[in-house]
């Protein structure tokens, strides 16, 4: 049984430009047609950002001590 190895050639410059143009057009239509949905979800996204910022900016409240670390104890 022989295996055929298919080499994938990178896209040519024209194909890359075509995909970029397609992506820009698709993004434009998504933003213009669904602007009301996006703006309607904005307050909920702001509320969701609060607990996420609390977790990531406070480090999850792992250590409440504000003094220097104890050098005599191994954790």
**Following DSSP, what letter does each residue of 24-73 receive, concatenated?**
HHHHHHHHHHTHHHHHHHHHHHHHHHHHHHHHHHTGGG-----SPPPSS-
Indicate if the pLDDT at residue 45 is higher than 80.
yes
**35-57 vs 13-33: helix axis angle to the nearest 10?**
100
pTM: 0.41
Q: CB of 19 within 8 A of CB of 11?
A: yes
Whether 20 shows a pLDDT value over 90: the answer reads yes
State the pLDDT at residue 68: 65
């Amino acid at each position: 049984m022989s295996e055929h190895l298919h080499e994938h050639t990178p896209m040519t410059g024209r194909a890359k430009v075509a995909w970029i143009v397609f992506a820009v057009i698709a993004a434009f239509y998504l933003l213009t047609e669904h602007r009301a949905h996006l703006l309607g979800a904005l307050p909920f996204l702001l509320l969701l950002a609060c607990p996420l910022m609390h977790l990531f900016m406070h480090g999850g409240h792992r250590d409440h001590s504000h003094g220097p670390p104890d050098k005599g104890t191994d954790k």
